[in-house]
Structure 1
Amino acid sequence: MRGFPVLRMPEDYAASGRRAVRVTLAAAAGFYLFRYGLGQPVAATYALFSAVAVGGLSHIPGSGRQRAATVTRALPVCWLLVAIGTYLSVRTWCAVVGMLLIGFALAFAAVGGPRPAGAAPGLQLLYILPSFPPYDPGSLAERLIGTTTGLMLFVLVETLVLGEPSPPSYRERAAAAALTAAGTSARLSTPPYALTADDLRAAQHSGEELRPLTVPEAERPAGPAVRDRALTDTGLAIRTLLNRLALLPSPPPSPPGPEIVSVLTAVTGLAADTAACLRGGPSPTTSYADLAAARARLSALSADSTASADGGHPASTATRESSATLLRRHAAVLEIADAALTMGPAAALAVHGRRAAVTAAPGRFWYASLRGPSLWWYRIRGHAGQGSVFFQNAVRLALALTAARLVAGVDTLPHGFWAMLATLTLTRTTVDETWSTMRTALTGTFAGALVTAAVLVLVGADTVWYAVALPLWMLFAFTVGPVKGIGWAQGLFTVLVALVFAQLAPPTWHLAEVRMLDVLIGSAIGAVLGLLAWPRGAHDELRRTVADLLRRAAEIVVATSATVAGGPSADDSVPSRPSVVPGHRSLQHAVVLAESAYAQYQSEPTPFGGKGRRAAPRQVDWQASLIAGHHALWGSERLAEPPRHRMGRVAAASVDALGERVAGRMLLVSASLDPGDDTPTASLRPFDPALTELATEPPDAPRLYYATVSWLNALLHDLSRIARVEGASADPGSHPPRG
């Protein structure tokens, strides 16, 4: 429900102007070809509005060639929409039911990623256009010819006219970050075995380059297909690897052992091979095997580095402290290896798909063996409920368009198409934003209607004048409207449609009156539906989904801690079969819903408080909660694998206590965020992430203990970021960037 895309900075006039030139060329060429060259006004109308739909109303991300490719793939869908709209328009009830079903389907297609989401408004318009008089199924061929011509002209000008440089792809960004990780790991494996301040800044910058907010929409791997999912996992793995490398504890005065150096050297090789793979090279098979072998040697050494519950000789305090330092470093290096061992197969899947030669642990890439329809089904099923903002938006818009179609059909509203177009472009995801947009749009439409009436009265039926003015006004409207905002866009578009229809039928000043009435009706319907259907958009939904995510993460923490403390089980005789902690799939689903709500939240303004004042932003770092969900998933998968040795009684009790405490704090933060919970918001307070149990090191603690403590400590750090310090600077999640 983007409506006309709004560019917010004055320097965007150049980009808006280039886009306006392309849309004007495609729309005007098709319109004049059929209207004056071939004498086919129906085809002329469809050629013009098809180009305007995909070029002006849609917001397909990417360069001109990327937009052209998206429109080309959508061409069969456009034919189907025009045909269905033509045949269902004969009866009002058929058109209304069709609008409900197709309107929902097109809006819900946003689950497929930025490109389907950006194209959806234009596709809606292509179904709306044939849903109004004249009800003439016999003109379907002419309508399809006009639609096809308009779309292909758009594809042509997007490809050839005023081309734009394509930004670096996500794969290129990931490759650059992998090379940074390779350099960072290489420095840690050679004297002085430490990173400089420049190294740390480079690692942080490379990780930031992979954050979704810093990646152009067209380059984000947000689709349900194998390659998109794998590329997402590649980015997460590289970011985790860079973070783990930056946090690696300093080595003792003596150089690290050969096993640690061997792991870090293998990480360097795998990261370099991963970068080459992401740039089109082969799968990193050899370097993956080298790292897996080096990790196994270090893990075996770490497991034997301290006495276990099954035996061992008493050690002095100094020996225990030295052993604890060594085991903490072993645990940190093994976490680095695990992140790299996830990165390699993910990159191979992202580039080579199911033909990738590298395989990871079972269950890590569950989607690798599934076909496209199955993956789409999982994505759709995961969002088919009112907990998904994609579902909420689709229901809200489909009901609004259906109501507008019903009013237009029952009342035989003149130019009811404009009422539905107003509903489509002015309905927003929050009621505050819808009302604000409605007021601005009506003001702009009223000004445009006055200009339209004056032009129609002064010019009269001089078709030549309208034909000359149309492309000039179109160029001006599509340049200024997106930059100046929705009021200007609606006012300029009001004059634009008058210039079009004045060439199709004898014009009168009543055309401006009808346009004003239609926009008023369409925007009012959108406002009423926005008030009734999830009026606060993603603001409350984000709190609810994050609270649910933290509750499920708390369950994972408790279950994982119990599994780690419980030692080997009957299934441990099969080394290749990992233990699976219950609740992984539900936590994955919760992370997906929270991420989609967060993405929409960043596009919405802060909700208004009483008397029109903006509500004070909550000091919540929403992204930290999403990172906590990922950390809970990845750490649980790693730690739940069957251990080689049973953990001692004291260490097991300590892990259990730590898990309970971390889970308890997760539940406290969850309760403070849930909008349906009665817990006072004061419970969301900043706290010291250190727990007293973390300072206690049991004398019988094996490497697995320190790995678990490291994981729980990272989760506590995430929780400490979720609750911001009172009086601190505004949270970036509460004031999302614009534009």
Structure 2
Amino acid sequence: MGRVPVRRFAADHAGSGRRALRVTLVAAAGFYLFRYGLDRPVAATYALFAAVAVGGLAKIPGTGRQRAATVLRLLPVCWLLVVVGTYLSVRTWSAVAGMLAVGFALAFAAVGGPRLAGAVPGLQLLYILPSFPPYAPETLGERLIGTTTGLALFIAVEALVFPEPGPPSYRRRAAHAARTAAHDATLLATPPYTLTGTGIRAAWDTSRSLRSLTVPEAERPAGPGVRDRALAHTGLATRTLLSRLAQLPAAPDGRPGPEATAVLRAVAGLATATATCLEAGPPPVASYEDLAAARARLSAVSGGPAEDPAPAPAPGFPPAVLRRHAAVLEIADATLAMAAAADLAVHGRHATVEIPRSRFWYARTWAPLLWWHRLRGHAGRRSVFFQNAARIALALTAARLVAGVDTLPHGFWATLATLTLTRTTMDETWHTIRLALAGTLAGALVTAGVLSLAGPHTAVYAVVLPLWMLFAFTVGPVKGVGWAQGLFTVLVALVFAQLSVPTWRLAEVRMLDVLVGSAIGAVFGLLAWPRGAHDELRRAAAELLRRAAEIVVATGASVGAGGAVLAAPTGQPGHRSLQRAVVLAESAYAQFQSEPTPFGGAARGAAPRTVDWQATLMAGHHTLWGSERLLTPPLPGLGPAAAESVGALGDRVAGRMLLVSAALDPGADTPAGRIPLFDPALKGSAAEPPGAPRLYYATVSWLESLMTDLTRIARGGTGPPGQGRRER
């Protein structure tokens, strides 16, 4: 074993050991306080399982203080779950109905972001525990006291014991990226007006640091609130800005022109001010106004739309200059969007930077409505969040029904097994169940031996429990599900042996319940979306590109007609459909990352291994942003020749999108295959009209950026460093 694996092995055990010690302290303190100090076995049970729920079963990302803050906010929800579960356990049918409704609601709440998604399994356990007999509403007070004590101890211990240094926040990452953009813009505004290869690579590396996969889960801005949405918007705009700076065409004859240089200097100033704002500084209002004014001057000089409804005519710039002007104006637009989003992310509804309502529709929206938008966007069978919620709710309901009808002893364990062993793909579920059953069998044999030897001597179990708990919570997460199930089998036996007279048959019951729960999990894993996000990602990406192709064609027609043909502006159905397609594709992609293929190979029906999914998502974002920018009124007419050229180029890009979409779609008439490779250059595909205005070149620049995205979708396509490799 080399040094790196040894260090990683030691780090894994060290981190797991710290978490295990915290959970053990909380669970043991609560259990012994109520069981032996106050003689309240019900409260003891709930104190222990509350700690196990949020500390062991839940996977809340972040540092101890972040986990403590998350649990503190969820305290009212935990109380409600215990109350509802207690009163619905009166009859099997009410318990089953409650399990279906509550199980789905909790699982679907994962749309609220990584922290809430990580807490969901623990919340499920807090509802499952009181939903089983005995029906004893008179013990509700003890149940709530035990639950509250366990959660309160957990919050205190997580916040105070073994404090962990937090990773850089997303705001800090975005601030660093904004400063990198400011540095690049400064270089492009001073002789020799270009970036070196090292600078371009640094820009792409910085851009990649804002990708969700490189950001710890707890720091990802994935919530539905205004600040989270704005921070995600900031990251996207910053990545776009860095990309545009790295791809800025060289100035003809080395003379960039005073107006373009002024815009780049203003870009550098606003990027610096944005970084300061993200570091809890003042809003970048003055720098924002400076760039807006510089952009308007360049737009007027090059003959494009500006704030002035009657811009000056183009003074006959050569095409190379107009192309650079168009690219510089795109850089300015991305910088303005970045600054507005950053101010909104830091100051919320108190932001002072001018906010374009078309892009920042959520800025003045009431928080419950933002939640409603998020929930409604995923309320369909094509959403992986909906699929996961339906799968786990149906499985838990079936487990509760079987436990109630067959009166399984300790049927709670069967439902818990269903919760912990059901995965998003059938292959992964089956692999997990096999390991879990083997581990449970080994744990049952150990349990039977311990119970037979110790008999009714409760003191033995009381002494062994905290030691075993520390061992189980340290080794289980590192060794995998088989070890975890086996160690947990012994753990629950040590707990229940202190609550009632123990017999060796407790091990038999535990084995039976895990077998029943595993079987139910396997059945629903087979029947309900057994391939997880693999096919759904292909389908969502194909739909995204189809919607994007429609908008490309419509935008080209509207630009060519000078705005006479409305190309589905922001808020119209075309853009809303693409926005929803992007959301569904992003959620499917996020789940796809978490689904390991068995034995390192490709899962059955897996998405083609030649796809760069990140480029697919960026194509959707770039389609939306470019269309909105080009359709900002007023739109000067292009003339017949330029309009025909734009239409031809738009049709070509849309056609390439549809070809890639057909290759991705698993439900297409033709089988999905390798993504076609394209030449990203549009030169020669349509005649370049003489004397075309700047708007023509802005449209061509946008279409070329989309073609670049399409070439990166295929593995081995052209692009910046690292883009030719497949990125899961």
Task: Sort the TM-score into its range (normalised by shorter chain).
Answer: over 0.9
Confirm or deny: 8 A CA contact 1:440 1:486 kept in the other structure.
yes
1:142-181 deviation per Cα after TM superposition (whole angstroms, max 9, x unaligned): 0000000000000010011011101111011111111111
Is the alpha carbon distance of 1:9 and 1:713 closer, same or farther for their aligned partners in structure 2, counting shifts above 3 Å? Answer: farther
Q: 1:470 aligned to 2:465?
A: yes
Aligned to 1:604: 595
Aligned to 1:396: 391
Is the alpha carbon distance of 1:582 and 1:302 closer, same or farther for their aligned partners in structure 2, counting shifts above 3 Å? Answer: farther
C-alpha distance in structure 1 between counterparts of 2:514 and 2:414, whole Å: 5
Is the alpha carbon distance of 1:732 and 1:696 closer, same or farther for their aligned partners in structure 2, counting shifts above 3 Å? Answer: closer
1:422-433 superposed matches below 5 A: 422-433=417-428
How many Å apart are 1:411 and its aligned residue? Answer: 0.6
How many Å apart are 1:731 and its aligned residue? Answer: 9.5
How many Å apart are 1:470 and its aligned residue? Answer: 0.6
Aligned to 2:75: 75
Confirm or deny: 8 A CA contact 2:716 2:724 kept in the other structure.
no
The unaligned stretches of length 5 or more in structure 1 are 1-6
Q: 1:564 corresponds to which letter in structure 2?
A: V
Is the partner of 2:667 in helix, strand or coil?
A: coil
1:313-462 superposed matches below 5 A: 323-462=318-457
1:3-402 superposed matches below 5 A: 11-303=11-303, 323-402=318-397
How many Å apart are 1:184 and its aligned residue? Answer: 1.1
Aligned to 1:3: none
Aligned to 1:4: none
1:93-122 deviation per Cα after TM superposition (whole angstroms, max 9, x unaligned): 000000000000000000000011000000
Q: 1:144 corresponds to which letter in structure 2?
A: L
Confirm or deny: 8 A CA contact 1:567 1:642 kept in the other structure.
no
Is the alpha carbon distance of 1:547 and 1:611 closer, same or farther for their aligned partners in structure 2, counting shifts above 3 Å? Answer: closer
Of residues 627, 637, 660 in structure 2, which corresponds to 1:646?
A: 637
Confirm or deny: 8 A CA contact 2:680 2:711 kept in the other structure.
yes
Tell me the number of residue pairs that the alignment of Structure 1 and Structure 2 aligns. Answer: 715
C-alpha distance in structure 2 between counterparts of 1:113 and 1:616, whole Å: 25
C-alpha distance in structure 2 between counterparts of 1:467 and 1:731, whole Å: 57
Confirm or deny: 8 A CA contact 2:531 2:605 kept in the other structure.
no
Of residues 542, 552, 555 in structure 2, which corresponds to 1:547?
A: 542
1:557-598 deviation per Cα after TM superposition (whole angstroms, max 9, x unaligned): 0011011111154999xxxx9787751111001000000000
C-alpha distance in structure 2 between counterparts of 1:730 and 1:328, whole Å: 27
Aligned to 1:583: 574
Is the partner of 2:253 in helix, strand or coil?
A: coil
Q: 1:665 aligned to 2:656?
A: yes
Is the alpha carbon distance of 1:682 and 1:53 closer, same or farther for their aligned partners in structure 2, counting shifts above 3 Å? Answer: closer
1:625-662 deviation per Cα after TM superposition (whole angstroms, max 9, x unaligned): 10100010010011112355310211110100010111
Q: 1:67 corresponds to which letter in structure 2?
A: R
Aligned to 1:490: 485
How many Å apart are 1:537 and its aligned residue? Answer: 0.6
C-alpha distance in structure 2 between counterparts of 1:681 and 1:692, whole Å: 29
Is the partner of 2:338 in helix, strand or coil?
A: helix
How many Å apart are 1:732 and its aligned residue? Answer: 9.4
Is the partner of 1:135 in helix, strand or coil?
A: coil
C-alpha distance in structure 1 between counterparts of 2:234 and 2:674, whole Å: 36
Higher alpha-carbon deviation: 512-521 or 247-256: 247-256
The unaligned stretches of length 5 or more in structure 2 are 1-6
Confirm or deny: 8 A CA contact 2:327 2:698 kept in the other structure.
yes
Confirm or deny: 8 A CA contact 2:109 2:116 kept in the other structure.
yes
C-alpha distance in structure 2 between counterparts of 1:323 and 1:692, whole Å: 16
Of residues 576, 582, 585 in structure 2, which corresponds to 1:594?
A: 585
Q: 1:471 corresponds to which letter in structure 2?
A: P
Identity of aligned residues (%): 72
Is the partner of 1:344 in helix, strand or coil?
A: helix
Of residues 506, 519, 528 in structure 1, which corresponds to 2:523?
A: 528
How many Å apart are 1:425 and its aligned residue? Answer: 0.2
Confirm or deny: 8 A CA contact 1:565 1:653 kept in the other structure.
yes
1:699-714 superposed matches below 5 A: 699-714=690-705
How many Å apart are 1:8 and its aligned residue? Answer: 8.9
Confirm or deny: 8 A CA contact 2:323 2:698 kept in the other structure.
yes
Is the alpha carbon distance of 1:453 and 1:384 closer, same or farther for their aligned partners in structure 2, counting shifts above 3 Å? Answer: same
Q: 1:686 corresponds to which letter in structure 2?
A: L
Q: 1:619 corresponds to which letter in structure 2?
A: T
C-alpha distance in structure 2 between counterparts of 1:649 and 1:347, whole Å: 41
How many Å apart are 1:617 and its aligned residue? Answer: 4.8
Is the alpha carbon distance of 1:426 and 1:371 closer, same or farther for their aligned partners in structure 2, counting shifts above 3 Å? Answer: same
C-alpha distance in structure 2 between counterparts of 1:479 and 1:564, whole Å: 62
Confirm or deny: 8 A CA contact 2:659 2:676 kept in the other structure.
no
Q: 1:501 aligned to 2:491?
A: no
Q: 1:152 corresponds to which letter in structure 2?
A: A
Confirm or deny: 8 A CA contact 1:83 1:140 kept in the other structure.
yes
TM-score, length-scaled by structure 2:
0.94
Q: 2:581 corresponds to which letter in structure 1?
A: A
1:428-452 deviation per Cα after TM superposition (whole angstroms, max 9, x unaligned): 0011111110001000000000111
Q: 2:350 corresponds to which letter in structure 1?
A: R
Is the partner of 2:318 in helix, strand or coil?
A: helix
Is the alpha carbon distance of 1:122 and 1:609 closer, same or farther for their aligned partners in structure 2, counting shifts above 3 Å? Answer: closer
How many Å apart are 1:252 and its aligned residue? Answer: 2.5
Aligned to 1:480: 475
Alpha-carbon RMSD across the aligned residues, in angstroms, is: 2.7
Is the alpha carbon distance of 1:571 and 1:488 closer, same or farther for their aligned partners in structure 2, counting shifts above 3 Å? Answer: closer
TM-score, length-scaled by structure 1:
0.93
C-alpha distance in structure 1 between counterparts of 2:281 and 2:617, whole Å: 32
Q: 1:441 corresponds to which letter in structure 2?
A: A
C-alpha distance in structure 2 between counterparts of 1:8 and 1:593, whole Å: 35
Higher alpha-carbon deviation: 185-194 or 549-558: 185-194
Of residues 504, 510, 531 in structure 2, which corresponds to 1:515?
A: 510
